Every structure is written in structure tokens, then in C-alpha cells.
Amino acid sequence: MVYVSLDGEAGPLALGLPELLRLCLVAPWWQDAPGRTAGELRAVADEYREDVPDLDRRRDRAARALGLDPAGLPSGATAPARLAELSRGPVAAACRVLGYGDEPLAPLFGTAHARP
């Protein structure tokens, strides 16, 4: 599953719909995080948890509604690393999105670059 932002960033979020669903359950903050390094992703996740203190309860309820076992979901600490991992290497190369002039768009995660 590849995401392309209006800010010129693109990259893989997940390898298929099941992984994307799990990502969205564990890391609903991911859309606030493009352009951030793995460490910065953890900070975004921590800030989101402060704003939504019952995130775990909501996540587990949504997982059960989707027929998923909440115990089988990745940890919240795993999501930032996975997003950064997918933004580089062979998966990112295979999902490269080109913009104007056939220049690749900036990776979504894992590298520091300017953000508005």
C-alpha cells in the first residue's frame, strides 16, 4: 500500500491491506508523521497518546470489530520502526513514485527533510 501526499512525499505504508489495517489500529497518528526520522516518529506517537489516553481500549475494540485478535497486533513501539524500514530499501525502490521531471518524490519516513 503506497501513500502519496500533496506535499511531494510518497512511499509504502504496508505490504497489503492486513498490514495497513494493523498499522492504522496501532499507529493512527501516521498521517501526522511524514518526513520524520524513526526517533521523531516515536515522539509523534507519544504526543498522540497524550491526546488520546484511551487509545489502547479504542484500538482493541476496533480490532475485535474487524475480527482481529488485539493480542496479535504489533506494539506501538514497532510501528515507527516499520514505517521507517518500509521507506528505504527494496520495498521503497519498488514503490518509487515519480513527480514532475521524473524526479522521485521524497520518502515518507526515515529521513529528515524540510517540512512545512
**What does the pLDDT average to over 56-76?**
93
66 pLDDT tier (thresholds 50, 70, 90): very high
Tell me the CA end-to-end span of the chain in Å, nearest whole number. 25
**29-50 pLDDT, tens digit each:** 888 776 677 678 778 888 888 9
Residues 6+ apart with CB under 8 A from 81: 38
Whole-angstrom CA distances from 3 to 42, 86, 97 are: 20, 12, 9
- Residue 88 Rama label (left phi>0; alpha psi -120 to 50; beta): beta
User: How much is the mean pLDDT over the chain?
Assistant: 84
Query: What ranges do the domains of the chain cover?
Result: 2-107
